[in-house]
Structure 1
Amino acid sequence: MNKQVSILAVCAILSLGLVVWLSQSPSKYKFEAVLLFDDLQEFANQVESLEIKNAQGVLFSAKKIEGRWLATFAQEQTAYPISQDKLSEFVEIMMRTKLVEAKTSKPENYIRLGLQSIDVEDSMASLVTLKTSDNAWQVLVGNEVTLGKGQYILKLDDPRSWRTDKTIHLPIDKYSWLRQPILPYQAQDISSVSRVDSFGWQIARSVSGDLQLINMPKDKKLEYPSILNSIVSSLTSLNFEEFLPNDEVFEQTLKIVTQLEVNTAQQNIFQVVVSELDNKYFVNFFSSNQTEYWQKWTYQVSNFSAQQLIKTIDDFLEQEEAITSNSDTKYQNVDEDDSPN
């Protein structure tokens, strides 16, 4: 009996010890998530430059110049405004991203996480650099995590790679974080638009603020009441796909499709030239005072966007076929009403 009690006592002690060990052992290996950059939040408002490089070179570069964030290109080119929303979102992500799981420390295995050095020709990684006047933060960003959110990253001062808790979205090209639409105007800022080539027409705002087609042809009416708004909204929402600095030699190769003159509520007047080359469409903006950033570039736009600006006066008016069809329907209804029961 005593022997059995002793055995049971030993088993109880062993079981209790196992429970205690199991409850304590995980804490030895548990990793508490830490911020990617523990001091970036403190200096975020002082960040004054951002650069993203990959194996092909500088993908995106921006600097804070006189309080404005501008994308910078080749030395001789004019800087371009960037999307403040995209920049704010990116810096916010970089501030709040945490390291949640340590990965490989072996350089030969970095390739599996997309973390090869950008000095390697076929590297898929991007090197992100944020700077203030006194501080700098750098991280190599690799593949996104296959399931769920997260990214594989490598801090340049740490051979360990890491999985983060957030996905770090980078620009897909040098244009994707730039300001869109092209023009800094809202539809209500435009007081008149005129086509000034051989297909001339003019749309202007009345005292009430409505758009009107000047010199409307007699016995004609608009296709629908708000159609004149379409040309204005097409201008103020015009996005580019790519752009290049104004170049007279290149511009001479373009075939002009239409020319518009735009007058703003502040009495600023500028011309819009839509051109075509090899089934691609381009837009330039000109005025007597070429000081605005959007007047210094030739923009490639989509075929659809270009077609919205190439309007003849007939495009605003109800067509004869529609009028005839409506008349036929009217007479048909009259005939049906007069038919005997």
Structure 2
Amino acid sequence: MTEPTVASLLQGFFTERLTRHLQASPQTVSAYRDTMKLLLLFAAQKTNKAPSRLTIDELDARTIGAFLDHLDNERHNSTATRNARLAAIHSFYRYALPLIPDRAHTASQVLAIPQRRHDRAIVSYLTGPETDALLASPDRATWYGRRDHALLLTAVQTGLRLSEMIGLTIQDVTITTPGAAVHTTGKGRRERATPLTKQTAAVLRAWLPEAGPPPIGPVFPTRRGTRMSADAVQRLVAKHAAAAALSCPSIASKHVTPHTLRHTAAMALMNAGVDTSVIDTEYVGEVRDEHAPGIAVGRDGIWGKVALRVGVAGEVLLQRDGQRVHRPSAAGFGGSRRSAASAISCGVALRYQ
């Protein structure tokens, strides 16, 4: 029996494992594709071979480790990105292992490479004046300015993920009022309709005729009518944040990214009195499992000092022993999670539940 080549293993991984068996989302397939492309190019340069001629032995744990160092030192990727790349490589080797039993040791060594632990920084958000300055930055006398203003306003109001923003098509947007909304399919294939305010609906109603031919054209296209890339949107947000800092200097101290706008939307909703569970599930598409690993249940009244972490909707989470994250108990704080969060922010000791 002929031993599978790296090329045949990759083809099976993408066409059988990801697409047919796991029915992975296009975003997952794209991320895994980019990882394997980077790995093959790195290994090809290291071995002076064409990517199509690489063997599993040349993609061993030492090569994978060197690739991860390359991501750190030359591409300057964050730890989160490094771990995401490693997860894609692990997934490929878990698929390949039963197909290459004579290379089981090589595959096992790669699978033993651990994820790197890292601190999770609190994501900043924009205040009202900062948001106004950012939205005023694009020059709406130009086509690009009108597109950028519509994109920034939609992001700040809806809290859509970057992938959801660039994936929006004209048919996904309902601009008639009442009932104006954007329809998206987020993580876990969760479909949701995010309501639009009158201001956002009016801006999109004026913008969509300029965006391109309906119904499948992107809502925020390039000048050629194609979808914007994630990098292009990130540069767009950074450019307008730098311009907004001239009139609102407080923005200069913040690293403003598309995710910052997502967090800004969640904080605005919470400050308006919207329940955090509604924000998580109906607006920003975060599904939280109260009994998932990492959430403490039945701690029998253990008291101690805690570290704080802010969730995607601005809710306070508790961190103990530097690892596990727990939700605050509402017991003894007026029966509400927000009351518990207020007590924690004042340095009050909290009892885990």
> Please, what TM-score do these two structures have when normalized by structure 1?
0.25
* Bigger strand share: 1
TM-score by length of 2: 0.25
Higher helix share: 2
Structure with higher Rg: it is: 1
